[in-house]
Chain A
Amino acid sequence: MVDRSRRTPGLSSLTTSRISSSQYASHGASLRNQNTQSLSTQLSVFQSLLHNFAVTHAKDIRANPAFRAEFARMCSAIGVDFLASSHHREKGKDGDAGSIWAQMLGGSVNDFYFNLGVLIVEECRSTRAENGGLISVSEVKKRIQRGRGIGGGMEVSDDDITRAVESLSPLGSCFSIMKLGHRSLIRSVPKDLNTDQSTVLEAIQVLGYVTVSMLQLNLSWERPRAVAVIEDLMTDSLVWVDTQAGENEYWSPAFIGAAGVGNG
């Protein structure tokens, strides 16, 4: 080996430096190679373990909502979104189509969420005239668990529904999850609620219903403001009016049967 600190005069120095740089390059390449190999070994071990896990527990993943949620959580913890990764079908080097996850899980988990997504869209559409396109996750869950027709009904968790709604996003649809107080709602209309409207819906969620004077008292709103917000919400079918209680009460169909719904 030539000492690289020693500068040799003359043409021979050119050759030496070329040789040394090519030596470095080849050494670097072999190091990279080793790293890649060990990484790919690790990855393949991990994949096969995960595959084994998924295969062994495929039934549980499909049938048990709690288990499915944990599995989904584990996948996202290690930075893998199996819903997202199943969307693009890339051609691998060895010509295999479909994502890693679709292959490993036999598509069952993906399919589960996509099927659930379809059910959610159906439920949202069928109740849209009634609730203005805002429905609580728990209500959707109840409806899906009840199922339609014979053989319908499946065991799902809130987490599944949230995930399934998220999986609808590539469709560019307007389905989204929104938080209102401690409750999650699925919004299936593209309209955004303004702050006042959200405040009123939140109040309804807590109290069961609101009246104009309640809004005036608790939020110190002027009467026209309260009336305007209520009217907006009514126009969008987001609240229904009950005129049999003295002062008009406004109720949200998104919270039917929810806790806090008292008797006026």
Chain B
Amino acid sequence: MVTTSSSPLAPIPTSGATTEGSGAFQFPRLYSFPPFFNIQPVLSTRASQLASWSSLIQEYCRHHRIYTLTLVDALSTPLFNNSSLSRRLSLRDARAVIQWMTTTEGGNRAEWISAGNKKVKGEEGGEAGKCWIFWKKPEEWASALEEWVDRTGQKGVVLTLYEITESDATMKEEFYGMDPDLLSRSLSICVKRGKAQIFGGEGSEGVKFF
């Protein structure tokens, strides 16, 4: 029996995550199924299980506006730890889920973040297992940003990155409070598409859509 820290529904404290979640997150019914917390040995079952985990993680992160997960920390949060069942996903299994999400089969819904320059052998995303969770992929964020600029008639206007993610004007948008790294990555996709241009240097960037 695994002893678990019983934490109530609290957003996962990760870097760049805003603690904004309206109402309690509605867990899927598999979440109350104890074997869900063991990666199944039978291949066909596992495939379906991984897909279910992937959608749970995406939905959870979308609900709590989480952009990155650090697995060692996240394991004790409700996402991976069902305290009422006393069941939790092990680090190894959680890695397997994220690893699957990074593949094309898993829809590229996650990406490991390498820890600095030091190479940790064999461990993706460093020892702590840090990764992006793309409940919207950078390309999808890029499209969302383009759509927003178009909708609000701000083409040709120079916007600061702060304005995009933190101002009152974008409070209702999905990218409000977005991770700055993910934002610049999405913006650079806009640039590649020829839809935007980035000005200024580190810390004081501005962007113009056209």
Contact = CB atoms under 8 A, between A and B. Distances in A.
Contacts of A90: none
A235 B42 CA distance: 6
Residue from the set A244, A249, A253 with the largest chain B CB neighbour count within 10 Å: A244
B24 interface: no
B17 to A, nearest CB: 28
Given A209-B34, A240-B33, A246 B86 contact: no
Contacts of A243: 38
Nearest to B87: A244
Closest 8 CB pairs of A and B: A240-B35, A129-B48, A242-B35, A242-B34, A237-B45, A130-B48, A256-B33, A251-B35
A250 B41 CA distance: 12
21 contacts: A129-B47, A129-B48, A130-B45, A130-B48, A234-B41, A237-B44, A240-B33, A241-B41, A242-B34, A242-B87, A243-B38, A244-B1, A244-B38, A244-B88, A245-B1, A246-B1, A249-B34, A251-B33, A256-B32, A263-B84, A264-B34
Interface size grouping (class) on chain B: 20 to 34
A240 B85 contact: no
Given A263-B85, A264-B34, A257 B48 contact: no
Contacts of A256: 29-30, 32-33
A253 B34 contact: no
B37 to A, nearest CB: 6
B32 A257 contact: yes
Interface string B10-44: 00000000000000000001101111111011101
Interface in A201-258: 209, 234-235, 237, 240-246, 249-251, 253, 256-257
A234 B34 contact: no
A253 B33 CA distance: 8
Given A129-B47, A257-B32, A241 B38 contact: yes
B197 interface: no
B93 to A, nearest CB: 10
A241 B38 CA distance: 7
A74 to B, nearest CB: 36
Contact of A240 (B29, B45, B84): B45
Contacts of B34: 209, 242, 244-245, 249, 251, 264
Nearest to A233: B42
B75 to A, nearest CB: 13
Contacts of A132: 45
Contacts of B1: 244-246
Contact of B42 (A209, A237, A264): A237
A246 B34 CA distance: 13
Nearest to A246: B1
Nearest to B35: A240
Contacts of A257: 29, 32
A113 to B, nearest CB: 27
